[in-house]
Amino acid sequence: MKSNDDSRAGHKAILGRLSDYFGFKLSENGSVLSVENVYCMTNQKAFAYHRSNTSLIHHLQRAHDSKSDPCVFIC
Ligand SMILES: [Zn+2]
């Protein structure tokens, strides 16, 4: 458990293995603003979300310098 997770405030984590990295943005009343857009909780970059995690994994690999083995997300 990390104590420094302020970036997750205001987000609802997506389902699956990428839930630690991406979330849906919440409105002030706590409802999901759009299920078609997810946000990287590290740098707040927005992505179109079409059930596939492929583009999200690419983002982690490229923008986050491949700190994690991609097999963690896919396998
Ligand atoms: Zn990111």
What are the Cα distances from residue 57, in Å, to 3, 4, 29? 24, 23, 30
Cα of 55 from ligand 1 centre, angstroms: 11
Q: What is the pTM of this model?
A: 0.75
Mean predicted confidence (pLDDT) in 47-70 = 79
pLDDT at 16: 86
Q: Is the pLDDT of residue 3 over 50?
A: no
First to last CA, the chain: 23
The tens digit of pLDDT for each residue in 16-53 reads 888 988 999 999 999 999 999 999 988 889 999 987 88
Ligand 1 midpoint to CA 69 (Å):
15
